[in-house]
Amino acid sequence: MVMSEQQLEEKASFDGKKVKVIGPTYEEGKPEKACDWRKKLQTREEMLNYLNVGVR
């Protein structure tokens, strides 16, 4: 995406200053079908890592 195509939003930072941040960049809609994440991961370690990162 080119910077001019992205929508910038003005928000307050933690110290109260106004800053511009990039707005949502996802495409709206619903997935066509459910994705089984277990099929993408091969080992138990990969599955646990996926779950640990996703829980954050």
DSSP calls for the chain: --GGGSPEEEEE-TTS-EEEEE---SPPS--SS---HHHH--SHHHHHHHHHHHH-
Helix or strand holding residue 9 (H, E): strand 8-12
8: CB partners within 8 A, 6+ apart? 20, 21, 22, 23
Is the pLDDT at 1 greater than 60? The verdict is no
pLDDT tens for residues 2-55? Answer: 455 678 889 999 999 999 988 877 778 887 888 787 788 899 999 899 888 887
CA triple 17-23-27, angle to 5 deg: 170
